[in-house]
């Protein structure tokens, strides 16, 4: 008998009559995290205070144990005193994918990994259905915090969501991980559905899911169902398209799907970590992705991060001292997810342990998160951040390439290295592919002159300086 029928019955937990642990985790972590990691867990048993859960793969088990298990246990202990320990078990991978699920029900993405070597005799005769990911109700335009780094992408997303015609096709959003691409795509989907009174068919999924659905359609010998499914939507939203880099067959099918939808004037929204021209895709695919509007999301500023923290705290109904919010906004600059995760961790610790949060305590709680930000500012670190900012590789900055889109970032990195570190000009030149110190001087001088009149470069330099703040 599983936990859904035992742990939360009135007999065991008088205050509850249903499987509230799922709704508790869904509410706390949000639909996106719950769907990706907790929804696929199966309850094995609950005995002597130990809740045993089955994970579909070792990867899922290890990820939950590393990132969520301690917090999940604290939440369950607080809500359900009978639960004193959680044990994660990995089921036999193939049997989990096939035997514990109805034959007509599609495998989840992680189950697809687990059952990757299905016997041909089993798979070819089975039917399968296709579906996208559920939308997170919390990811809407109303709670998207707008600042200089993302205002253009936000405006473009708004315009697409509010137009009945496919005005920019595709809308291509790109930027580093955790800077709001997924939030904007969910927001577009919610807005279109509401405006159409849910009459339009909106499909949101990752490029990885697209690939696995395509592979499964080949396996089940039902490619036509796949084609009809994807080409019948009004709005197709694909996240992390860089995943299909190097996967020629998937790129070919995506190319044809893209063309079919554009021909029908159906809206396509795509995200990636790089611009279309920098992706490792076939040239005609790059060309198609550049057809519409390309909008990038820059690294966040201190002011934007502070606004995000204040909004998140308000939405969760938690009270955190302003000094702590200021501290988090100035220290954690890598991405918004890590920033919000730090806020959740701090607030949960204060609530569960019952201690008043101080800056000293916050530093102790987040010591593993803050450690990467406490290293001395170096030329190498500046190179890494400048490369990320301009969607380049550090090797590009160090190379002999003279392309304008590489030369200017290289010179800016030299300028910042001289301004923000104690490194000598010869050492900076050495870090940039063994260049002579006179080349470094020329690069620095060029940037100093451009900063007097180039407003875009001024903003780039200011954003990068914020990224380096300790």
CATH no. for residue 349? Answer: 1.10.8
Pairing of strands 171-174, 267-272: parallel
Instruction: Answer whether residue 305 shows pLDDT above 50.
Output: yes
284 and 306 belong to one structural domain:
no
Out of 50-64, 275-289, 332-346, give the one with best mean pLDDT: 275-289
155 and 261 belong to one structural domain:
yes
Domain membership flag for residue 108? no
User: Between 443 and 337, where is the model more confident?
Assistant: 443
Instruction: Answer whether residue 365 shows pLDDT above 90.
Output: no
355 and 287 belong to one structural domain:
no
42 and 163 belong to one structural domain:
no
Domain membership flag for residue 189? yes
User: Between 222 and 58, where is the model more confident?
Assistant: 222
Domain membership flag for residue 457? yes
Domain membership flag for residue 45? yes
Pairing of strands 293-296, 235-239: unpaired
Domain membership flag for residue 136? no
Task: Point out the domain boundary residue: 277, 296, 315.
Answer: 296
pTM here?
0.55
Give all strands of the β-sheet with 202-206 in edge-to-edge order: 202-206, 235-239, 267-272, 171-174, 293-296
Compute the distance between CA of residue 178 and CA of residue 180 in angstroms, rounded to an integer: 6
328 and 226 belong to one structural domain:
no
pLDDT score recorded for residue 73: 82
Q: What is the mean pLDDT of residues 192-211?
A: 89
Compute the distance between CA of residue 383 and CA of residue 436 in angstroms, rounded to an integer: 17
pLDDT score recorded for residue 404: 83
| Selection from 263, 210, 202 nearest residue 235 by Cα | 202
311 and 289 belong to one structural domain:
no
270 and 147 belong to one structural domain:
yes
Compute the distance between CA of residue 173 and CA of residue 154 in angstroms, rounded to an integer: 10
User: Between 12 and 270, where is the model more confident?
Assistant: 270
269 and 411 belong to one structural domain:
no
Compute the distance between CA of residue 439 and CA of residue 350 in angstroms, rounded to an integer: 53
pLDDT score recorded for residue 134: 79
**Confidence band for 421, pLDDT divided at 50, 70 and 90:** confident
Q: What is the mean pLDDT of residues 443-454?
A: 91
Domain membership flag for residue 279? yes
Contact indicator for 217, 126 with CB cutoff of 8 Å: no
77 and 174 belong to one structural domain:
no
Instruction: Answer whether residue 93 shows pLDDT above 60.
Output: no
Task: Point out the domain boundary residue: 296, 319, 350.
Answer: 296
Q: What is the mean pLDDT of residues 260-267?
A: 91
**Confidence band for 371, pLDDT divided at 50, 70 and 90:** low
Mean pLDDT score of the chain? 79
**Confidence band for 20, pLDDT divided at 50, 70 and 90:** low
Instruction: Answer whether residue 112 shows pLDDT above 60.
Output: no
Task: Point out the domain boundary residue: 330, 363, 396.
Answer: 363
pLDDT score recorded for residue 374: 56
**Confidence band for 91, pLDDT divided at 50, 70 and 90:** low
pLDDT score recorded for residue 140: 92
The token duo for 281 is: 């895709």
Q: What is the CATH number of the domain that holds 462?
A: 1.10.1750.10
Compute the distance between CA of residue 466 and CA of residue 207 in angstroms, rounded to an integer: 32
Domain membership flag for residue 48? yes
pLDDT score recorded for residue 120: 30
User: Between 348 and 131, where is the model more confident?
Assistant: 348
147 and 205 belong to one structural domain:
yes
| 418 annotated binding-site participant | no
Number of domains in the chain: 4
| 182 annotated binding-site participant | yes
Contact indicator for 361, 435 with CB cutoff of 8 Å: no
pLDDT tens digits, one per residue of 203-253: 999 888 888 888 888 887 888 888 888 888 899 999 999 988 888 888 999
Residue count of the chain: 470
pLDDT score recorded for residue 239: 92
User: Between 82 and 11, where is the model more confident?
Assistant: 82
Tell me the residue range of the domain where 356 lies.
Answer: 302-363
Q: What is the mean pLDDT of residues 25-34?
A: 79
pLDDT score recorded for residue 5: 33
Domain membership flag for residue 458? yes
**Confidence band for 12, pLDDT divided at 50, 70 and 90:** very low
| 429 annotated binding-site participant | no
User: Between 257 and 368, where is the model more confident?
Assistant: 257
Q: What is the mean pLDDT of residues 15-35?
A: 67
| 307 annotated binding-site participant | no
| Selection from 109, 159, 99, 166 nearest residue 132 by Cα | 109
Q: Which of 88-97, 198-207, 327-336 has the lowest mean pLDDT?
A: 88-97
Share of the chain above pLDDT 90, in %: 22
156 and 245 belong to one structural domain:
yes
Contact indicator for 393, 384 with CB cutoff of 8 Å: no
Q: Cα 135–138–143 angle (5° rounding)?
A: 130
**Confidence band for 333, pLDDT divided at 50, 70 and 90:** confident
Residue 408: HSE in the Cβ half-sphere, 13 Å Cα cutoff:
13
Q: What is the mean pLDDT of residues 322-327?
A: 86
Secondary structure of the chain as H, E, C letters: CCHHHHCCCCCCCCCCCCCHHHHHHHHHHCHHHHHHHHCCCEEEEEECCEEEEEECCHHHHHHHHHHCHHHHHHHHHHHCCCCCEEEEEECCHHHHHHCCCCCCCCCCHHHHHHCCCCCHHHHCCCCCCCCCCCCCCCCCHHHCCCCCCCHHHHHHHHHHHHCCCCCCCCEEEECCCCCCHHHHHHHHHHHHHHHCCCCCCEEEEEHHHHHHHHHHHHHCCCHHHHHHHHHCCCEEEEECHHHHCCCHHHHHHHHHHHHHHHHCCCEEEEEECCCHHHCCCCHHHHHHHCCCEEEECCCCCHHHHHHHHHHHHHHHCCCCCHHHHHHHHHHCCCCHHHHHHHHHHHHHHHHHHCCCCCHHHHHHHCHHHHHHHCCCCCHHHHHHHHHHHCCCCHHHHHCCCCCHHHHHHHHHHHHHHHHHCCCCHHHHHHHCCCCCHHHHHHHHHHHHHHCCCCHHHHHHHHHHHHHCCC
**Confidence band for 28, pLDDT divided at 50, 70 and 90:** confident
End-to-end CA distance of the chain: 52
Compute the distance between CA of residue 5 and CA of residue 267 in angstroms, rounded to an integer: 44
pLDDT score recorded for residue 61: 79
173 and 275 belong to one structural domain:
yes
Instruction: Answer whether residue 270 shows pLDDT above 90.
Output: yes
Q: What is the CATH number of the domain that holds 182?
A: 3.40.50.300
């Amino acid at each position: 008998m599983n936990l859904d029928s035992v742990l939360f019955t009135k007999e065991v937990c008088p205050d509850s009559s249903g499987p509230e642990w799922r709704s508790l985790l869904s509410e706390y972590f949000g639909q996106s995290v719950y769907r990706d990691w907790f929804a696929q867990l199966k309850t094995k048993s609950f005995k002597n205070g130990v809740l045993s859960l089955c994970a579909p793969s070792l990867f899922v088990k290890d990820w939950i144990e590393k990132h969520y298990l301690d917090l999940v246990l604290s939440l369950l202990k607080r809500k359900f005193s009978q639960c004193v320990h959680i044990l994660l078990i990995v089921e036999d991978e193939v049997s989990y994918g096939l035997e514990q699920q109805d034959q007509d029900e599609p495998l989840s993405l992680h189950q697809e990994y687990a059952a990757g070597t299905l016997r041909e005799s089993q798979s070819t005769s089975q039917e399968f259905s296709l579906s996208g990911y559920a939308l997170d109700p919390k990811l809407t335009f109303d709670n998207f915090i707008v600042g200089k780094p993302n205002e253009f992408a936000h405006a473009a997303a708004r315009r697409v969501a509010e137009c009945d015609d496919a005005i920019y096709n595709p809308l291509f959003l790109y930027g580093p991980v955790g800077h709001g691409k997924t939030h904007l795509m969910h927001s577009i989907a919610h807005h279109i559905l509401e405006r159409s009174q849910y009459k339009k068919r909106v499909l949101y999924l990752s490029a990885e899911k697209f690939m696995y659905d395509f592979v499964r359609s080949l396996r089940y010998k039902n490619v036509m169902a796949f084609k009809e499914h994807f080409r019948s939507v009004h709005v197709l939203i694909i996240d992390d398209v860089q995943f299909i880099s190097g996967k020629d067959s998937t790129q070919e099918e995506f190319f044809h799907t893209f063309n079919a939808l554009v021909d029908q004037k159906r809206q396509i929204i795509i995200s990636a970590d790089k611009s279309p021209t920098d992706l490792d895709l076939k040239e005609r695919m790059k060309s198609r992705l550049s057809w519409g509007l390309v909008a990038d999301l820059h690294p966040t500023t201190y002011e934007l991060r502070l606004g995000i923290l204040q909004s998140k705290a308000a939405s969760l109904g938690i009270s955190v001292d302003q000094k702590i919010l200021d501290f988090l906004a100035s220290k954690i600059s890598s991405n918004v997810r890590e920033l919000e995760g730090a806020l959740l961790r701090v607030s949960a610790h204060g609530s569960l342990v019952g201690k008043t949060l101080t800056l000293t305590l916050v530093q102790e709680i987040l010591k593993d998160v803050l450690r990467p930000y406490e290293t001395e500012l170096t030329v190498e670190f500046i190179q890494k951040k400048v490369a990320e900012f301009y969607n380049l590789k550090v090797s590009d900055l160090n190379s002999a390439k003279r392309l304008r889109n590489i030369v200017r970032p290289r010179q800016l990195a030299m300028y910042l290295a001289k301004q923000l570190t104690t490194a000598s000009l010869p050492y900076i030149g050495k870090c940039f592919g063994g260049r002579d110190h006179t080349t470094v001087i020329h690069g620095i001088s060029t940037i100093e002159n451009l900063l007097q009149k180039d407003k875009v470069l001024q903003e780039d330099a200011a954003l990068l300086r914020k990224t380096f703040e300790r």
